[in-house]
């Protein structure tokens, strides 16, 4: 008898293909990233704790006014609360005053000017603005005078609305860097080549809260804010006052 060697054929076993396909499927599932359509992202406020301090506005620095509309383009203010012993104290509560009334506007300006921040406070904010504009760390300059000299800057005073209204009667204080500075003026640091570098407005600590009735139109809100701005008030809050007990 003659022994014959097994001959090779072109056939192969596919019994392991399912295992290979399964392993490839797992590989692609693990390594593939998918684009996810994200919604609007927001961050919830932190839960208040014992270290959280509520900001309380001093009564002597708060003026609360309710704005009502009497007719087309006619708006009045009711003084709900005013700093004591001032031109708009609570004794006037119950009396509606037109927004364009000169006594009302003079009273607002008086309250704002009496609570004007010191030039030193404005200069401190200006120094911070300069450091931010220059991209240097806070405290790089010991004071504003040294910063002006180090950066070869020019100190400029731009008159504000109070000077436009009061003219030469606007009260001023003397600052070693800027000279005469009135409440509402803008202190500017400028460079000969780059122009204005940083600025800060001498503001008031007076906070005015405006309460509007729902039927007061948009023009009334703008008129009230414009009156405050023209009389030196930059810190305002706005709320909607609901009518209670019928039409008032």
Q: Give pLDDT, residue 188.
A: 95
pTM score > 0.75 for this model? no
Q: Which residues of the chain have pLDDT under 50?
A: 42, 246-248
Question: 46 — phi, psi (to 5°)?
Answer: -70, 150
Question: pLDDT tens digit string along 125-146?
Answer: 999 999 999 898 888 898 999 9
Q: Give pLDDT, residue 23.
A: 82
Question: pLDDT tens digit string along 32-79?
Answer: 766 555 555 545 555 555 555 555 566 788 999 999 888 888 899 999
CA dihedral over 169, 174, 180, 186, signed as positive or negative: negative
Residues 6 or more apart from 227 whose CB is under 8 A from it? Answer: 99, 100, 104, 105, 108
With contact defined as beta carbons under 8 Å apart, do 131 and 138 qualify?
yes
| Per-residue CA distances from 239 to 11, 63, 192 (Å) | 85, 13, 45
Residues 6 or more apart from 150 whose CB is under 8 A from it? Answer: 141
With contact defined as beta carbons under 8 Å apart, do 231 and 112 qualify?
yes
Dist. CA 149–CA 198, nearest whole Å: 15
Beta bridge partners of 173: 181
- The H or E element that residue 120 is part of is helix 119-134
- The H or E element that residue 110 is part of is helix 102-114
What are the tokens at 156?
Answer: 């400029």
- Tokens 């008030």 appear where? 233
Q: Give pLDDT, residue 197.
A: 92
CA 20 to chain centre: 62
Residues 6 or more apart from 59 whose CB is under 8 A from it? Answer: 81, 83, 84
């Amino acid at each position: 008898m003659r022994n014959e060697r097994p001959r090779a054929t072109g056939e192969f076993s596919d019994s392991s293909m399912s295992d290979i396909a399964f392993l490839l499927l797992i590989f692609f599932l693990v390594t593939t990233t998918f684009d996810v359509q994200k919604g609007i992202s927001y961050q919830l406020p932190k839960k208040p704790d014992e270290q959280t301090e509520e900001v309380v506005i001093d009564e002597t620095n708060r003026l609360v006014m309710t704005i009502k509309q009497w007719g087309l383009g006619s708006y009045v203010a009711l003084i709900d609360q005013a700093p004591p012993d001032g031109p708009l104290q609570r004794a006037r509560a119950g009396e509606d005053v037109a927004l364009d009334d000169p006594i009302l506007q003079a009273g607002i300006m008086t309250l704002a000017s009496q609570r004007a921040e010191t030039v030193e406070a404005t200069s401190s904010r200006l120094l911070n603005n300069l450091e931010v504009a220059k991209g240097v760390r806070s405290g790089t300059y010991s004071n504003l005078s040294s910063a002006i000299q180090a950066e070869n800057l020019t100190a400029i005073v731009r008159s504000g609305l109070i000077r436009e209204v009061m003219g030469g009667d606007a009260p001023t204080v003397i600052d070693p860097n800027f000279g005469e500075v009135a409440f509402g003026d803008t202190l500017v640091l400028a460079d000969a080549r780059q122009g204005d570098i940083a600025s800060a407005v001498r503001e008031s600590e007076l906070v005015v809260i405006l309460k509007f009735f729902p039927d007061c139109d948009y023009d009334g809100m703008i008129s009230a804010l414009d009156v405050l701005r023209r009389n030196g008030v930059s810190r305002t809050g706005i709320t909607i006052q609901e009518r209670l007990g019928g039409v008032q």
